[in-house]
Amino acid sequence: MDWTTWVEWIVKGFVLCLILLTGFAYLTLYERRALARMQVRVGPNRAGYQGLLQPIADAVKLIFKEELTPARVYKVVFFLAPILTVVPSLVIAAVIPLGTSFTMFGREITLYVANINVGVLYLTSIASIAVYGIVLAGWSSNNKYAMLGGIRSSAQMISYEISLGLCFAIAIVMSNSMNLVDIVNAQKDMWFAVTQPVGALVFLIVVLAEVNRAPFDMPEAEQELTAGYHAEYSGMKFALFFMAEYQKMIVVCMIAATLFFGGYREFWFLKDTFFSVDRFWFLGPIYLLLKVVVLLFFMIWIRATWPRIRYDRLMAFGWKILLPLSLAVLFITATGILLAQELNNQLFIWSIPLLSIICALVVVVFIYRDLRRKSHGRI
Amino acid sequence: MTSDLIVFLVLSLIAIASALGMLFSKNAVYSALFLVLNFITVAVFYLLLGAPFIAMAQITVYAGAVMVLFLFVIMLLGAESLAPSQALPWQKPLAFTLALVLVVEAVYIILSRAQLTAAVASPDASLNSMDSLREMAMMLFNNYLLPFEVTSILLLVAMVGAIVLAKQEKVGLK
């Protein structure tokens, strides 16, 4: 291994961090502007053209804010918790392919930091580590509200991680690989979101809970818990939690795009045309960016329109509805692929979306009847 | 090879230090955190040995799921610092005896079977590929199907037991 490989790794890692940090800054602006539009307001538009300098102003404000450390906190863990929250949200992006490759200085440079064979497992392991920051922040603050927020979030994230793992398994089964580059290339002919729409939908719901976004933002429900796990944090430490939340949003949208929406690849019907990634490498990051922006818009849209769901219903939804549904969908996917292979008939692939949608409709009817019974019954 | 050795030594130091930290922390939350660090170090050992699947599974299952549940219970019960005077009198001598037996056994095995280390030091390059995953699954679901199913039934029974214990009796709720 020569030194140029090291230089390439370091530069790529650095660039990826820069992309994520800039993305975080402008995602806050994007969210505030989009929310304002949906609520018939204007939003921040003073600093710079259309408010484009607003993130810089916010950053300066947060850096110069006074930082308070309450007297009775567990000091070491209190300092460690924001770091433990931010680091997973950055390193998880290392395996996500941003594009194909290009040649520079006589060497082929690939547009991903690491191409490991167990890429999907890497995602699950980092996602499971990400709980610690929040839990420890809640505990070390020595504050009942923060503690409740931390406990809620750990219960919620563990519950939804099971469905998340099953959704990963769906993508693995359909692409026959755990390597994210292979998963993207397997979607050359057809996105997995088309052949498995229910899996993609369940994945999007579950990641909302994983990153604690509305309507699953239980850990920081203001009315009940003040600010939840980060109630005692101020200044830059608070900014780190804020940063981690928005980076997680970007990263899960990248993962969703990679697993179900073709990653850096073009639309499946453009595959051999002028707009193909195979023709121009620089189209890869552009396609991925477009997909991420659209998915982020859905997240913001949901936040603007949906009320927060009650905590017991959140857990019931995760365990009693999403878990059986994702199990059933995984079973249907595996069976459909097996039938298509064994009987050598590609038509069986299309039984997957059909049966999955029927499954999802059964679930919707079940929820509807359950809610109606609850609203009429006396409990 | 020397760089591997350096990494191994540093990791060993971290692993031993975190294990000791886990044993001697007064606060249960710190103990749990040291144990998480230990699990992650062990996962890196697996990576060094060329078994990325087991490394990632180690992090996901032990550091991610099991230890978060541990922390959850510690925090929920408020059992961060129990009174130190609860140790049973016969516990200490028994623990020392068993630890001594373990050390003697380990030393004996290392000395008597030195060729074992040679097999470990040169991991098969094919272990890194997807094929090794496929082979592992084949082994698990063909050769070891019965143990696998027995384990899953055991886990199912444990789960049902936990639900039965946690279930609240509905008294007079009409």
Specify the higher pLDDT residue, B62 or A232: B62
A77 pLDDT above the threshold of 80? yes
State the total domains in chain B.
3
The answer on B96 and B142 residing in a single domain is: no
Domain boundary among B22, B57, B80: B80
Whether A94 contacts chain B with CB within 8 A: no
Q: What is the ipTM of this complex?
A: 0.77
Picking from B41, B71, B141, B163 by the largest number of A CB atoms within 10 A of its own CB, the best residue to mutate is B71
Is there a domain that residue B174 lies in?
no
Mean pLDDT across B60-85: 75
- B76 contacts: CB under 8 Å, gap ≥ 6: A151
Of chain A, the percentage scoring pLDDT greater than 70 comes to 96
CA distance B89 to chain A (A): 32
Is residue B52 domain-shared with residue B104, that is, in the same domain?
no
Which has more confidence, A252 or A219?
A252
The answer to whether residue B60 is domain-embedded is yes
pLDDT at residue A261, as a whole number:
86
Give the per-residue pLDDT at B154: 95
Domain range list for chain A: 3-376
The 8-class DSSP code of residue B172 comes to: S
3-state helix, strand, coil in chain B (%, to 5): 80, 0, 20
Q: Does B44 lie in the same domain as B24?
A: yes
Best probe of the B interface among A122, A132, A151, by most B CBs < 10 A, is A132
Is the minimum CB–CB distance between A202 and chain B shorter than 8 Å? no
pLDDT band at B23 (very low <50, low <70, confident <90, very high): confident
pLDDT digits (tens, 9 = 90+) for B96-140: 899 999 999 988 887 776 655 544 444 444 444 555 777 778 888
For chain B, say whether A5 makes contact (Cβ under 8 Å): no
- The per-residue pLDDT for B170 is 62
Q: For residue A199, count CB atoms less than 10 angstroms from its CB and return exposed for 0-12, middle for 13-18, buried for 19 or more.
A: buried
Over residues A191-198, the mean pLDDT reads: 84
Residue B115: predicted pLDDT:
58
Q: Which residue of A has its CA nearest to B40?
A: A129
Determine the pLDDT at residue B119: 47
Q: Closest to B75 (Cβ–Cβ): which among A128, A129, A151?
A: A151
pLDDT of residue A223: 66
Taking alpha carbons only, the member of A176, A178, A239, A323 closest to residue A28 is A239
Residue B111 lies in a domain: yes
Chain B residues closer than 8 Å to A127 by CB: 64
Identify which of B30, B52, B65 has the shortest CB distance to residue A128: B65
Band (pLDDT 50/70/90 cuts) for residue B149 is very high
Q: Which residues from chain A sit within 8 angstroms of residue B129, using beta carbons? A: 117
Mean pLDDT is lowest, of B8-22, B37-51, B63-77, for: B63-77
Of A107-116, B60-69, B126-135, B150-159, least confident by mean pLDDT is B126-135
Let me know if residue B172 belongs to a domain. no
Cβ within 8 Å, pair A178-B69: no
Decide: A120 and A180 in contact? Cβ < 8 Å.
yes
- Range 139-198 of A in CB contact (< 8 A) with B: 139, 147, 150-151, 154-155, 157-158, 161, 177-179
Chain mean pLDDT for chain A? 82
Determine contact: A128 vs chain B, CB below 8 A. yes
Q: Are B21 and B75 in the same domain?
A: yes
Average pLDDT over residues A284-311: 86
Give B76's contacts in chain A (Cβ within 8 Å).
151
Per CB-CB distance under 8 Å, the chain A contacts of B57 are: 121, 125
**B63 interfacial to chain A (CB closer than 8 Å):** yes
Structure tokens belonging to residue B131:
């094929």
Range of the structural domain that residue B100 is part of:
90-123
pLDDT at B28 over 70: yes
CA dist., res. A21 & res. A27, Å (int) = 10
Q: Does the CB of B37 have a partner CB in chain A at under 8 Å? A: no
In-domain check, residue B173:
no
Does B33 touch chain A if contact means CB atoms closer than 8 Å?
yes
What is the structure's pLDDT at B126?
Answer: 46
- Contact state of B64 with A161 under an 8 Å Cβ cutoff: yes
- Interval A292-306 mean pLDDT: 88
Taking each helix axis from N to C terminus, what angle separates A323-342 and A351-376, rounded to the nearest 10 degrees? 160
Instruction: Name the DSSP letter for residue A96.
Output: S
Q: Provide the token pair at B90.
A: 């016969």
Nearest-Cα distance to chain A for B2, in Å, is: 14
Nearest to A322 by CA among A363, A272, A378, A263: A363
- How close, in Å, is residue B102 to chain A by CA atoms? 32
The pLDDT score that the predictor gives to residue B75 is 78
Query: What is d(CA A362, CA A81) in angstroms, rounded to the nearest whole number?
Result: 42
Cβ contact B133–A178 (<8 Å): yes
Query: Is the model's pTM score more than 0.90?
Result: no
DSSP-assigned states of every residue in A159-210: HHHHHHHHHHHHHHHHHT-S-HHHHHHHTSSS-HHHH-HHHHHHHHHHHHHH
Question: CATH code at B5?
Answer: 1.20.120.1200
Tell me the residue type at A368: Y
Instruction: Specify whether B76 is located in the same domain as B21.
Output: yes
Q: Which two tokens stand for residue A326?
A: 């994702």
Minimum distance, in Å, between the CA of residue B90 and any CA atom of chain A: 34
Q: Please list the residues that pair with A108 across neighbouring strands.
A: A103
Give per-residue burial for B34-61: e unless 16+ CB within 10 Å, then b: bbbbbbbbbbbbbbeebbbbbbbbbbbe
| Structure confidence at residue B4 (pLDDT) | 77
C-alpha A317 chain-centroid distance: 19
Q: Choose the weakest-confidence range: A73-77, A279-283, B117-121.
A: B117-121
State mean pLDDT over A193-209.
86
Residue predicted with more confidence, A60 or A267? A60
Neighbours of A200 (CB within 10 A): 22
Per CB-CB distance under 8 Å, the chain B contacts of A129 are 59, 63-64
pLDDT band at B5; cut points 50, 70, 90: confident
DSSP at B79: -
Torsion angle, alpha carbons of A339, A200, A251, B44, to 10: -40
Q: Mark yes or no for CB contact A151/B56 under 8 Å.
A: no
Size of interface A-B (CB pairs under 8 A): 73
Claim to verify: residue B61 and residue B113 sit in the same structural domain: no
The minimal CB distance from B53 to the residues A77, A118, A161 is found for A118
Partners of A121 on chain B (C-beta within 8 Å) are 52-53, 56-57, 60
Is B46 found in the same domain as B21?
A: yes
- CA A172/CA A118 separation, integer angstroms: 10
> Hey, of B61, B130, B163, B174, which one would you mutate to test binding to chain A, going by the most A CBs within 10 A of its CB?
B130
CA distances A169 to A214, A323, A378, B107, Å, are: 25, 13, 41, 42
Backbone angles phi, psi at A74, to 5 degrees: -80, 100
Chain position carrying tokens 């009315």: A223
pLDDT computed for residue B155 by the predictor: 92
Over range A10-34, report the average pLDDT. 87
- pLDDT class of A284 with cuts at 50, 70, 90: confident
In chain B, the residue whose alpha carbon lies closest to the alpha carbon of A81 is B33
pLDDT for the residue numbered B121: 46
